[in-house]
Amino acid sequence: MIGLVLLGAPQMRAQQYNDGPKNDFNISYGYFTVTQFATVLGGVFGAAFSLGHAAPTDILSTGSLQLEYLHKTNNWLWLGGGVSGEIDTLVMEGRDSDGNPTGNPARTNINTLNAFATAKANWLRREKMAMYTRLSAGLFSAFGVETSLAPSLQLGLLGCEFGSVTNRGFIELGIGMHGIISGGYRILF
């Protein structure tokens, strides 16, 4: 799907309203990320495989906060990168055969820091709004039980930005480290 959008984007240049700003700095917040999904599944599987002798009592998440810089390389393609972070907590509590708590709950904290490169294809451009598809890939480090380094990915299937030429809000639907839904504010200069 991304390939089709990227291949078709040069033909859509006629929709460009003007050259406009070349730089984009944005801050955004995303929810229901891959890390949140893994934390929820950890609680569900922990309860299932303990045959009812453990249960999740609390699942908390901050969601993902992102800072990103992009540079316009041509009329439709922006390239750049950024960082994001998230804190997730899972609390599991042991249960006896009657379902009563047995003692101190086990707490798992998963803090992630993500550095990524981004390619954003604007496939519909107007003076006050644009629609785009975005791909971000990089590495994330999870700090918690043990520190690990792993690849990260965010596929922004459909993004819509709206506002003036230099200040825009945006919302994006996707999947990955930045969440199923994310939104934020961008300054173009």
What are the two backbone dihedrals, phi and then psi, of residue 144, each rounded to the nearest 5 degrees? 180, -115
The answer for residues whose C-beta is within 8 angstroms of residue 43's C-beta and 6 or more apart is 56, 59, 90, 92
Q: What is the pLDDT of residue 100?
A: 79
Residue 16 CB-density burial (10 A; 0-12 exposed, 13-18 middle, 19+ buried): middle
Rounded to whole angstroms, the Cα distance separating 79 from 152 reads 17
Which candidate, 90, 119, 110, places its Cα nearest to that of 150? 110
Q: Band of the pLDDT at 142, cuts 50, 70, 90?
A: confident
Nearest to 161 by CA among 135, 184, 178: 184
Residue-level pLDDT at 103: 77
pLDDT of 93-123, one tens digit each? 887 777 777 877 888 888 999 999 999 999 9
**Token pair of 6, please?**
């990227």
Query: pTM (2 decimals)?
Result: 0.80
Read off the DSSP letter of residue 19.
-
All structural domains of the chain with their residue ranges: 2-188
- What confidence tens digit (pLDDT) does each residue in 21-67 have? 999 999 999 999 998 888 888 888 888 888 777 878 888 899 999 99
Check the CA dihedral 144-145-150-156 and report its sign.
negative
Q: Is the dihedral of CA 116, 121, 124, 127 positive or negative?
A: positive
Q: What's the pLDDT at 3? A: 52
